[in-house]
Amino acid sequence: MSRIGKKPVPLPKGVTASVSGQSVEVKGPKGTRTFKATDDVTIALEDNSVRVTPRGTSKRARQQWGMARSQVENLVVGVTEGFKKELEIQGVGYRATMQGNTLKLALGYSHDVDFVVPAGVTVTAPKQTEIIVEGIDQQLVGQVAANIREWRAPEPYKGKGIRYKGEYVFRKEGKKK
């Protein structure tokens, strides 16, 4: 039995959900999100909460049970609080600035990197060494943050690069004579 799947997903005040077949639509103060579940689970709306149950005892049905419940919960969290990833830049001369819908990154290359922010995500640079990615879609927020980090991942010798806030970078010792 899935411990995660057994719990119903409560709907807070100001959030409405509608279930039609295998798809769930959640509306909240930050927007609207939808999720289409596989045929291995059943989704039902019960007294201000969404309940997910498996349609059998097969391994796939049990796998999809907890995953579908987590996806529905992420919809609810996304439309109420939203998701946020914070990045920090370390390195001499490394900086980030926002210009319209473009994030300009100076990362030690011969040219500045222009990162166009996709729709559905907001990127801000409150300081030159901080980048904040926010949105209602957890997957999209994480992917945009990963794409920004990919331009200059932290290297192990000096620790320079773009890292997630609070990320530990394993440091190596340099060459010795």
pLDDT tens digit string along 99-132? 999 999 999 999 999 999 999 999 999 999 999 9
- If residue 57 lies in a helix (H) or strand (E), which one and from where to where? none
For 3-80, CATH number out of 1.10.10.10, 3.40.50.300, 3.90.930.12, 3.40.462.40 equals 3.90.930.12
Residue 165's pLDDT is: 94
Q: CA 102 to CA 25: how far, in whole Å?
A: 31
In the predicted model, is pLDDT for residue 34 greater than 90? yes
* Phi and psi torsions of 74, nearest 5°: -65, -30
Residue 96's pLDDT is: 95
Do domains 3-80 and 83-164 share one topology? The answer is yes
Q: CA 137 to CA 82: how far, in whole Å?
A: 8
pLDDT tens digit string along 136-157? 999 999 999 999 999 999 999 9
CATH class of 83-164: alpha beta
CA atoms within 13 A on the CB side of 155: 9
Neighbours of 22 (CB within 10 A): 15
Residue 145's pLDDT is: 96
Domain boundaries, the chain: 3-80, 83-164
Identify residue 104 by its one-letter amino acid code.
K
In the predicted model, is pLDDT for residue 176 greater than 90? no
